[in-house]
Amino acid sequence: MPARNLIASLCLLPAFASAAPWLDLNVGEAPLRAEFADDADTRQRGLMEREALPADQGMLFRFPEIRRHCLWMKNTPLPLSAAFIDEAGRIVDLIDLEPLSVAIRCSREPARYALEVNQGWFAEHRAGLGSRVEGLPGPPPGD
């Protein structure tokens, strides 16, 4: 790669870099490093415009209330899978999300969290409905 292309690519990184903190989770027996989207702006941005997601990384969304939550893939070119997780850390629903789709996909059960990973990650790691997710942060203060 010519030096000018490398420099141009590096200059673009801050636009896609996340200021979100990172969490070390265990999904069933599988370790996963997740960006933590715990505020409205970070949840809204999600993984938009990301062109790659490392194999054992994802994004964890913590919602301010426990209820059925919805996701969409607007401006997200990656095929993803999402787990909806209840307050106790149990996966209550799993869905696959299609790149760039504006279809709204909602959990079947009330959830506190959603965890997005590369499509097929949950199946590959034998995590499904009822699997436990450890390392989740507690509810927001005042909840």
Q: What's the total number of domains in the chain?
A: 1
- Distance (Å, whole) CA 69 – CA 106: 5
Domain of 23? 19-129
φ, ψ dihedrals at 7, nearest 5°: -65, -45
Domain assignment present for 13: no
What contacts 95, CB < 8 A, 6 or more positions away?
Answer: 71, 81, 82, 84, 105, 107
- Distance (Å, whole) CA 133 – CA 27: 4
Question: Tell me: the pLDDT tens digits for 82-127?
Answer: 999 999 999 999 999 999 999 999 999 999 999 999 999 999 999 9
Domain assignment present for 12: no
CATH number for the domain spanning 95: value is 2.60.120.1140
pLDDT at 142 over 70: no
Which tokens go with 16?
Answer: 């896609």
pTM, two decimals, is 0.83
